[in-house]
Every structure is written in C-alpha cells, then in structure tokens.
Amino acid sequence: MPVEITWWGHATCTLRDSDVRVLTDPLFARRLAHLRRRRGAVPPPGAWRADVALVSHLHADHLHVPSLQRLAPGTRLLVPRGAPRAVPGLRRLTHLTVTEVGAGDVTQVGDLVVRAVPALHDGRRLPVGPHRSPALGYVVEGEGRTYFAGDTGLFDTMAKEVGPVDVALLPVGGWGPYLGEGHLDAGRAARALARLGARSAVPVHYGTYWPIGMDAVRPHEFHAPGEEFVRLAAEYAPSVAVHRLGHGESVRLEVAR
C-alpha cells in the first residue's frame, strides 16, 4: 500500500496513510515577522484539510497560530506538552481538539498510531520567554512508518528513539544564512539518514522563507540544501531513494508490510 507525501514548503507536509490525512507544522503565511515566502505559492485551502495536525515545537515558523486557526472544526492537534501555557493563542483555538504530548506518548488517529519522539532543538517560544516545551519529532505508523523530524540536530540515540522507518522527512536547511545549534544541514541530515535505515527520504525546511532584505546574503543557503542533500545522501545512504519535491508536489511511496 502506498504512503503519499506532499510538500507545501518549509516544514509543512501532508502525509496520507491508511485513509488518514496528517499535516505537519502548518504554515500558510506569505509573510511571518521578518521572513517572507520567496519560493512556492502559499498552500491552497485544500492543504488546510487534515484529520490530525502535528506541531513539533514552539517556534513561530512551526507553531503558527493564524495557520492553525484555518484548520477545520474537530481537527485533532498534537502539540508539545506545555505549549498552551507558553503560547496563549493556542487556548483560543476552541474549534480544534488539542492534545499535549511528550516523547514516548502514543496517540491513535483512525488506523494510524502517532508516536512522539525526542528532538535536539530549543523548545522555547522565541524571541524571549521563560516557558519551555520539549521539541519533538513524530513517527506516524499505518501502512508505513514515516518519521517527521521537525527541527532537530543529530544526536547519538536518534536511531534508537525513532526506530526503524520506511520514510524520513528531514530538515536540510533553514530560513536564514546561518544555522545555529540544534539543526540539520544537508550533511548532518545525510548522516542521520544513514543511521535511520529508511527506504525513502524527502528533504524539507529549506528554500521557502528568507529574511526580508537579505536576498543577496549567502543565497546558496536558500537554494542549494535540497540538491546538496541528494548528493550527500547518495554517499552516506546509497540504498535510500531520495525524493526532492517542488512546492506543492507529491510522491507516492510503496511500503512493504
């Protein structure tokens, strides 16, 4: 049975498995604070439909309250534990069924099992704020096992925490000319892929948003990460099929069970 992945840009994907639609880190904005969308159209209303939406951490380009507001009434929303306290706007989303989760928690959604897994990333709501929530990834298991990493650095226990997966949605860049700690660039993502043992991979979190007025500052960090990941994955994990999608493009992946 196939698993279908659509990449809408940044960390936003639709995963279809077992007749369930899963939306990751919904971001449907043309502009966010000092960032503007430089490539790809803003996802259309059809992209807003989901049975469950997953939020990996509290940063505004991953937990974007106006985008979450667009989700249909009754949509399930999984957020890191403590998120409603740190982000009061979440408490106003009364049309959604919000569940707080931590690493190791398992949620049943139709015929899918969604397991929260650790991530190595700053869990604060930036730019300032005392409240923290854990940064998470998620493993979605139905006909296939799909790992959505959210934002994370490479950590020693990643393969053990995530477990064997068929598909890995891995961040390979960012939204500015420099990546700080707790991120994967193309090289670290390729090394993560080698550890995970996935059959297929889709690079995400690159080539979408960029700071206003900085188009000419290290532009290769905007354009190159996807192609660089394809090249390095062939070196570190040659048995993995890498699918570099365009914005709004989908791929159907056969998984064996």
| pLDDT tens column, 114-170 | 999 999 998 777 655 666 789 999 999 999 999 999 999 999 999 999 999 999 999
User: How many CA atoms lie within 13 Å of 113's alpha carbon, on the beta-carbon side?
Assistant: 9
Per-residue pLDDT tens for 175-223?
998 888 899 999 999 999 999 989 999 999 999 999 999 988 999 999 9
Per-residue pLDDT tens for 181-190?
899 999 999 9
> 1: pLDDT confidence band, cut at 50, 70 and 90?
low
State the burial class of residue 136 (Cβ atoms within 10 Å of its Cβ: 0-12, 13-18, 19+). Answer: buried
Q: Where are the alpha helices (DSSP H) in the chain?
A: 65-69, 83-86, 158-162, 186-196, 220-223, 225-236
The answer, yes or no, to whether residue 238 has pLDDT greater than 60, is: yes
> 257: pLDDT confidence band, cut at 50, 70 and 90?
low
In this predicted structure, what is the pLDDT of residue 125?
Answer: 74
The answer, yes or no, to whether residue 37 has pLDDT greater than 70, is: yes
- Helices 186-196 and 225-236 pack at an angle, to 10 degrees, of 40
Among residues 40, 70, 56, the alpha carbon closest in space to that of 210 is found at 40
The answer, yes or no, to whether residue 98 has pLDDT greater than 90, is: yes
In the structure encoding, which two tokens stand for residue 67, read together? 């985008």
